[in-house]
Amino acid sequence: MTRMLIIGPPGSGKGTQAERISERLGVVAISTGDIFRANVKGETPLGVEARKYMDNGDFVPDSVTNEMVRSRLSQDDVGHGFLLDGYPRTTAQVGYLDSILAISGHKLDVVLQLTADDGELVTRLLGRAKETGRSDDTEAVIRHRLDLYHGQTEAVVAKYVERGILTQVDGLGRIDEVTDRVMSTIDNPLRISVVSGS
């Protein structure tokens, strides 16, 4: 049973790694970005609201995001654990997640941070924009998303460092190599470690 978070700047490969890691651990991967995108595609009221923010690279307001996560974490398939991808992104969301977990008497086992430098991330994301046509992958929006990551989400990372559950892994390299690095660090979930590439 593992309850974990994956945190990383846009373009760090966190979505891809979340899928692979959750499969290996036998837990469900929950990506707030994917849930929002599915709602945008389906033109649901949640999607219409979220889109106003996503297209500009802004965070969807907590009033919308927190409730969505609370509802998702109340479903049966999280009974064996979960890997939450893309939440929390602000310290206020950390507090909200704490309160959701406190109700069920659960706590996080490990928080994984994938790292990569901004120059590499911008190059990767501009490449992805050509392949997927994601509306938030233009250069100006990418830079704004990176600024939000440094300005807000790094404070989230700091909180989990304080709690002694953060593991940092270098996100550069082949997808398989990064997955192996991650799996080797979470074998021992309470260790705080920094694993760099070769």
List contacts with ligand AMP (CB under 6 A). 10, 32-33, 36, 53-54, 57-60, 65, 86-87, 89, 93, 136, 145
Taking the C-alpha atoms of residue 25 and residue 81, their distance in angstroms, rounded to an integer, is 9
CB of 25 to ligand AMP, least distance (A): 20
CB of 139 to ligand AMP, least distance (A): 15
* Active site members: 14, 89, 128, 134, 145
Pick the closer one to ligand AMP by CB: 105 or 133: 133
**Tokens 């440094």 map to which residue?**
150
Taking the C-alpha atoms of residue 103 and residue 89, their distance in angstroms, rounded to an integer, is 21
Q: Report H helices in 86-174.
A: 91-104, 118-132, 139-148, 154-162
Pick the closer one to ligand AMP by CB: 130 or 198: 130
Q: Would you tell me how many other CB atoms lie within 10 Å of the CB of residue 121?
A: 23
| Residue 77 identity (one-letter amino acid) | D
CB of 159 to ligand AMP, least distance (A): 14
Q: Would you tell me how many other CB atoms lie within 10 Å of the CB of residue 185?
A: 19
